[in-house]
Amino acid sequence: MFETERGVMSSYYNGTAVVIYSREATILAAFCAILFCVVGVIGNLVTVIALVRCPKLRVHATTAFVLSLCLSDLIFCLINLPLTAARYIYQAWVFGDALCKLFPVLFYGNVAVSVLNMVAITLNRYVLISCQLYYNCLYSKISIWIQLVFIWVFAFLLMMPPLLGIWGQLGLNPSTFSCTILRKDDKSPKKMIFLIGFILPCVVIIAAYSCIYYSVVKSARKLKSHRQTGDKKTPSRRERDDSRLTKLMALIFLCFLICFLPLMLCNVLDDIDIKYPTLHVLASIAAWASSVINPFIYAASNRQYRKAYSKLFTMVKSSVAFSDSRHNSNNIRLDRSKPNNSATQS
């Protein structure tokens, strides 16, 4: 399979401009993909378990979307990153046509899922802070499930035109040994997917956080005026927790934007005749990092999430200690029973 793939690539190169990645760049990319795969799987899996087992966080609508975001990152780390590592190690795609078509579906689909989950989180924060009267109606259990289903279905529907060959197609670009969205009849949906799946959601998120910021500033001014008139009213603990959670989610979006924007710009602006291959590799590594960093941001930036992690680790530690003590007690019983058995035999 590998030799056949290499032969096809060689014949293709004769009539096509060759994109040459330095071996240093491909080794760095492979190393980062493997590292992010291991760290991302552990981090996202621990986050999912910790949030599911934490009753205090489980009641928040935001938690449902955070879990959805973690699941998307977990799929990316489990499937996309190992395939990407092998691609850079071999400097070729060696897994066949079926996986070559699945790879970009999962990659672009997961990016869209991540962005749409952040849109849902941002709108949730906006409604909670600015439109509290509608919150219970908009974020009932049924409503949350409907939003989650819509996010996942819509994100992957964006990939249906190239997957079915209606608009562009999915396949191998031999000059970059990448499985991606290719042009068909000189047409490609990449810019449309970039617009609908990335730019528009980001605009909505930025607009919503701007409104949230305005509401928070307005509320702070009211609180300050109350204090000046002698009213000692202070924000409740729930209000403080909501404010911290909102800041955390804004930080998550900012990090996602920093990680993914370079790759999206490279794929749109430097797509046909790739002039800066090393820049594509570095942009890809930055994008992979977005699936890894969220658990660290949760742990570093929010007390409630730290408590959830702490409870999980305490539970695991106590389970291991109980298992060890039980094993030791069983060994002691066996040791004590041996003389009795020999005495009985004599």
Q: Give the confidence band of 178 by pLDDT, cuts at 50, 70, 90.
A: confident
Q: Is residue 242 part of a domain?
A: yes
pLDDT at 15 over 50: no
pLDDT at 71 over 90: yes
Q: Is residue 342 part of a domain?
A: no
Q: What mean pLDDT is predicted for residues 326-344?
A: 58
Q: Is residue 121 part of a domain?
A: yes
Q: What mean pLDDT is predicted for residues 285-303?
A: 85
Q: Which residue has the higher pLDDT, 232 or 2?
A: 232
Q: Is residue 56 part of a domain?
A: yes
| Inter-helix orientation angle 200-228/237-269, to 10° | 150
Tens digits of residue pLDDT in 86-127: 999 988 889 999 999 999 999 889 988 988 998 998 899 888
What's the pLDDT score for residue 329? 61
CB 267 within 8 A of CB 190: yes
For residue 173, the 8-state DSSP code is E
Q: Which residue has the higher pLDDT, 58 or 164?
A: 164
Maximum mean pLDDT: which of 226-230, 243-247, 319-323? 243-247
What's the pLDDT score for residue 142? 94
d(C-alpha 113, C-alpha 16), whole Å? 35
Q: What percent of the chain has pLDDT above 90? A: 26
Tens digits of residue pLDDT in 140-150: 999 999 999 99
Q: Is residue 108 part of a domain?
A: yes
As a whole number, the mean pLDDT across the chain is: 80
What's the pLDDT score for residue 275? 75
Alpha-helix runs per DSSP H in the chain: 2-14, 23-52, 55-58, 61-75, 81-90, 96-130, 135-138, 141-157, 160-164, 190-194, 200-228, 237-269, 277-301, 303-345
- Among 9-18, 197-206, 235-244, 278-287, name the one with the lowest average pLDDT: 9-18
Q: Is residue 170 part of a domain?
A: yes
Which structural domain, as residue segments, surrounds residue 260? 2-308
- Looking at the structure of the chain, the number of domains it has is 1
pLDDT at 262 over 80: yes
Q: Is residue 147 part of a domain?
A: yes
CATH code, 98: 1.20.1070.10
- Among 142-156, 178-192, 207-221, name the one with the lowest average pLDDT: 207-221
Q: Is residue 334 part of a domain?
A: no
